[in-house]
Amino acid sequence: MRILLTNDDGYRAKGLAELVEILKPFGELTVVAPKYHQSGMSMAVTMGLKPIAAKRLPDRDGVRWWYVDATPSSCVKYGLDEVFTDALPDVIVCGINHGSNAASASMYSATVGAAREGALAGVLSIALSVDDFSPDADFSDVKRRIPEIFRTLTQNPPADKSTFYNINFPKGEARGIRIGYQGMVHWLKEFRPYDYGVFDRLGITPLDMGILRMPEVEAGETVYVMAGDLTDDPRNHGHADHRQLEAGFITICPLKLDATDYDDKRRLESLF
């Protein structure tokens, strides 16, 4: 089996290194990951005449490594165009992301966006995240459980190649596996005054978050950071992926490329 790996935390991230070790027994691994942190990019691609630097890194224990100074979706495109030149990979795996990508967060997530890019190419694609934002997150239970999940999904692929999988692990030991639907949440008061001391308190650097340089602040500008208060949607029920995750379960959510509302399509056809 030929497996393409990427992530949105950057090629140095612990979650990606853990994923490589987990999947080594399953086949031939190739990593094409962002040079820098690319969280929140969804399915964005690096375009608009922006130069894209790519580098082949030394192989590690038989695993091929590249980084690309671009978004995760661009990394998938690079892997398919420039690395897998003879044939497509059998599966694309994105992660392991540091932080949950359940519910509406999946629409912003570059980890999930890269899996969506893979599905667009017709390749079975899986996004993996753990509900722990720490750069040194504990992946012990994740490492124990991913092989069974990966084996089951690859041996039983979806009939529709536009289907891809968003999988989220709770922090710590999981109570089991649940199949959920994409929950709906939103964030309130998302623009917060920028805290320049946050990096010291978290023990990280701006570069760890993909910030190559702090912006110069012009007169009259106010500097913010995107944060916000998470608000649940009352229409959700217990099968919502984020609620299952909060209850301590691994959540597997099948997603599709086609976002058409077919009920409203039929309604509009009756009107027009």
Question: How many angstroms separate the CA atoms of 13 and 130, rounded?
Answer: 13
216 and 112 in a single domain? The answer is no
**Torsions phi, psi for 124 (to 5 deg):** -55, 125
Please check whether residue 124 lies inside any domain of the structure.
yes
Give the containing element (helix H, strand E) for 129.
strand 124-130
49 and 154 in a single domain? The answer is yes
Structure pTM? Answer: 0.94
Number of domains in the chain: 2
208 and 152 in a single domain? The answer is no
125 and 198 in a single domain? The answer is no
Structural domain span for residue 246: 2-181+236-264
142 and 201 in a single domain? The answer is no
For residue 72, what are its two tokens?
């995760």
Here the CATH number for the domain that contains residue 125 is: 3.40.1210.10
Please check whether residue 55 lies inside any domain of the structure.
yes
Please check whether residue 221 lies inside any domain of the structure.
yes
Question: How many angstroms separate the CA atoms of 189 and 229, rounded?
Answer: 7
> Tens-of-pLDDT digits for all 272 residues of the chain?
999 999 999 999 999 999 999 999 999 999 999 999 999 999 999 999 999 999 999 999 999 999 999 999 999 999 999 999 999 999 999 999 999 999 999 999 999 999 999 999 999 999 999 999 888 899 999 999 999 999 999 999 999 999 999 999 999 999 999 999 999 999 999 999 999 888 888 788 887 787 888 888 999 999 998 888 989 999 898 899 999 999 999 999 999 999 999 999 999 999 99
62 and 158 in a single domain? The answer is yes
Q: Which amino acid is at 96?
A: I
Please check whether residue 269 lies inside any domain of the structure.
no
